[in-house]
């Protein structure tokens, strides 16, 4: 019975993560400045947004590490601890190594309820142990081989200052410890993405510099009846995560949005994104320009605007053209099933980030995790350096949780503001973007100066450079937090009770006697009134 319970729990947790999370990846020759970059939107209605931290430590021989599942906190078991661990800030470590993920789930029968390593623990334990992407791949695959893999199918983004890889992994089922997996290096001049659907199709079988895979990844698929054919025709995605409508419309569509924005030839895959055709997109493409950090942050805020999947102008968007619909993703009307779109930017994000990894700078300076809590479209990407030794109070673990509101928690302040904006999106989001741009542009403008000073300090004393960056990161997080709290106060006053109070440059206008001026009774947009008349006829007509 206990085994059945654990398996059921596993399946339920997989359901939580279906259609969650998005990763965008950029090779060093595909970026404006030579950075490698990875983004992550950690999307789940059960996830609290905070910035994790594991300080570097040394351990004697024989120490065991207790493993707790990242999603549920459930105790999984023990594994051998290593003698030296590295400083980890969020999903980046002191060597500028980044690991992110999206869950594709895959075949239910491949779940292993006896495995010790869940996908989240696999990420954060590996970050404490690996220096490079290739080393991380070996550690991750060795860990699941030795201790078993508990989670469903996962796509991992793994990057260091020189290389970007996608590792896709699936369990092998109860009583069959380990995992089947394949890892493909993204060419330096290309970009890639994944969003809850396995994306590695055919892969090179004899190119270890660019592709590594489990020795039984094909034979196991044959044994289970997932594949029959020549080895060179084998597709990991087709064998271990067969495509369905949700995998295309809710998952691959997000990848398409990224590819389509930066490569005009990808427009032809719109029918694939819509679930109408099944020819899959490539794992990676060349963009039509080199991408900046700002480009990636903007892409993380995408709601399909300007594409065939744009849904901001139909009746579902409401009078204020909202790019959001509330869960669930599918719904029925008159026994016909319909769906909502699932864009990259989404309300249920716990945290989001873009990492910037740079080979020409010392590691403590070169690695930056641009971190934000809540919805990417409503947050501020704030620079947190990979070497910092203290986490800002607003991001600190334990400062509130999903059932404990905290006025000093970034997650809660961001959600307070976002949930005001969602209900009157078009006008309120415009006010939000002004503050968002002011903060992020300020961070960009300061970056070169801060890093120049940090490099000079590093030459004298690495410890002083780390202290400097720790202090700077903390100050910027608090500055952004304070500005966002003020934004929330401003929005509440300006739009209270459905009117709009007059303001200029963020200051509310008073009359000549110092009293608040009369507010504007703006009502609704004209097209909304037309829809009301069309539906109700003369019901509300003024008769005399």
- Length of the chain as a residue count: 544
What local confidence, expressed as pLDDT, does residue 489 receive? Answer: 98
16 has a pLDDT exceeding 70: no
List the domains of the chain with CATH numbers.
Answer: 22-317+327-339 (3.60.60), 361-498 (no CATH), 503-536 (no CATH)
What local confidence, expressed as pLDDT, does residue 20 receive? Answer: 84
What local confidence, expressed as pLDDT, does residue 13 receive? Answer: 40
How far is it, in rounded angstroms, from Cα 155 to Cα 327?
24
Q: Mean pLDDT score of the chain, rounded to an integer?
A: 95
Asked if 76 and 105 count as a contact pair (C-beta separation under 8 A), the reply is: no
Q: Is the dihedral of CA 437, 439, 445, 447 positive or negative?
A: negative
Closest Cα to residue 165, out of 282, 283, 286? 283
How many angstroms separate the first and last alpha carbons of the chain? Answer: 73
H or E element, residue 148 = none
Report the SS3 class of residue 357: strand
Closest Cα to residue 241, out of 14, 78, 24? 14
What local confidence, expressed as pLDDT, does residue 8 receive? Answer: 39
198 has a pLDDT exceeding 70: yes
CB atoms inside a 10 Å sphere around CB 320: 18
pLDDT tens, residue by residue, 205-264 = 999 999 999 999 999 999 999 999 999 999 999 999 999 999 999 999 999 999 999 999
How far is it, in rounded angstroms, from Cα 303 to Cα 377?
9
Closest Cα to residue 122, out of 79, 86, 161? 79
pLDDT tens, residue by residue, 119-178 = 999 999 999 999 999 999 999 999 999 999 999 999 999 999 999 999 999 999 999 999
Asked if 281 and 252 count as a contact pair (C-beta separation under 8 A), the reply is: yes
How far is it, in rounded angstroms, from Cα 4 to Cα 107?
17
Following CA atoms 304, 307, 309, 310 in sequence, which dihedral angle do they give, to the nearest 10 degrees?
Answer: 60
Phi-psi region of 237 (alpha: psi -120 to 50; beta: other; left: phi over 0): alpha
Residue 201 in tokens: 């199709």
Asked if 413 and 485 count as a contact pair (C-beta separation under 8 A), the reply is: yes
Residue 495 in tokens: 């739009």
DSSP per-residue codes, 431-459: HHHHHHHHHHHHHHHHHHHHHHHHHHHHH
How far is it, in rounded angstroms, from Cα 128 to Cα 135?
12
Q: What is the 3-state secondary structure (H, E, C) of 494-543?
A: HHHHHCECCEECCEECECCCCCECCCECCCCCHHHHHHHHHHHCCCCCCC
Give percent of the chain above pLDDT 70: 97
Asked if 361 and 452 count as a contact pair (C-beta separation under 8 A), the reply is: no
H or E element, residue 140 = helix 133-147
Asked if 378 and 432 count as a contact pair (C-beta separation under 8 A), the reply is: yes
What local confidence, expressed as pLDDT, does residue 166 receive? Answer: 98
Instruction: Tokens 């930056």: give the residue.
Output: 368
Report the SS3 class of residue 358: coil
Q: What is the pTM of this model?
A: 0.95
């Amino acid at each position: 019975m206990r085994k059945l319970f654990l398996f059921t729990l596993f399946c339920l947790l997989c359901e939580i993560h279906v259609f969650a999370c998005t990763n965008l990846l950029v090779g060093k020759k595909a970026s404006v400045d030579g950075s490698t970059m990875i983004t992550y939107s950690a999307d789940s209605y059960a996830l609290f947004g905070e910035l994790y931290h594991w300080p570097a430590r040394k351990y004697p021989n024989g120490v065991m590490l207790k493993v707790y599942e990242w999603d549920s906190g459930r105790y999984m078991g023990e594994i051998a601890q290593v003698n030296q661990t590295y400083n980890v800030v969020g999903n980046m470590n002191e060597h500028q190594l980044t690991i992110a993920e999206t869950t594709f789930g895959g075949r239910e029968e491949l779940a292993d309820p006896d495995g010790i390593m869940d996908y989240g623990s696999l990420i954060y334990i590996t970050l404490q142990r690996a220096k490079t992407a290739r080393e991380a791949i070996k550690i991750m695959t060795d860990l699941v081989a030795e201790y078993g893999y508990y989670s469903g199918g996962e796509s991992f983004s793994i990057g260091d200052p020189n290389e970007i890889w996608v590792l896709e992994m699936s369990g092998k089922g109860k009583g069959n410890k380990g995992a089947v997996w394949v890892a493909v290096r993204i060419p330096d001049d290309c970009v890639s993405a994944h969003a809850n659907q396995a994306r590695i199709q055919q892969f090179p079988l004899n190119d270890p510099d660019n592709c590594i895979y489990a020795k039984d990844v094909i034979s196991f698929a044959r044994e289970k009846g997932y594949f029959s054919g020549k080895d060179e025709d084998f597709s990991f995605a087709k064998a271990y995560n067969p495509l369905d409508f949700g995998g295309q419309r809710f998952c691959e569509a997000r990848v398409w949005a990224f590819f389509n924005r930066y490569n005009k030839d990808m427009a032809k895959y719109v029918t694939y994104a819509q679930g109408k055709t099944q020819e899959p997109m490539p794992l990676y493409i060349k963009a039509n320009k080199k991408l900046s950090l700002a480009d990636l942050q903007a892409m993380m805020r995408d709601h399909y605007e300007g594409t065939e999947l744009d849904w901001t102008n139909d009746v579902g968007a409401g009078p204020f053209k909202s790019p959001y619909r509330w869960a669930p993703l599918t719904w029925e009307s008159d026994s016909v099933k319909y769906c909502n779109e699932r864009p990259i930017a989404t309300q249920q994000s716990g945290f989001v980030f873009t990492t910037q990894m740079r080979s020409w700078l010392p590691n403590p300076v070169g690695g930056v995790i641009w971190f934000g809590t809540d919805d990417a479209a409503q947050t501020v990407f704030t620079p947190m350096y990979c070497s910092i030794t203290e986490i800002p109070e607003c991001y600190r673990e334990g400062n509130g949780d999903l059932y404990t509101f905290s006025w000093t928690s970034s997650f809660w302040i961001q959600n307070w503001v976002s949930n005001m904006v969602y209900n009157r999106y078009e006008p309120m989001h415009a006010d939000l973007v002004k503050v968002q741009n002011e903060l992020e542009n300020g961070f960009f403008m300061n970056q070169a100066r801060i890093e120049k000073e940090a490099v000079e300090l590093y030459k004298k004393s690495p410890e002083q450079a780390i202290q400097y960056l720790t202090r700077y990161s903390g100050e910027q997080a608090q500055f952004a937090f304070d500005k966002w709290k003020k934004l929330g106060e401003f929005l509440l006053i300006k739009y209270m009770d459905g009117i709009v109070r007059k303001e200029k440059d963020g200051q509310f206008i008073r009359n000549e006697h110092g009293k608040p001026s009369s507010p504007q009774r703006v009502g609704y947009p004209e097209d909304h009134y037309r829809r009301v008349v069309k539906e109700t006829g003369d019901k509300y007509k003024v008769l005399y």
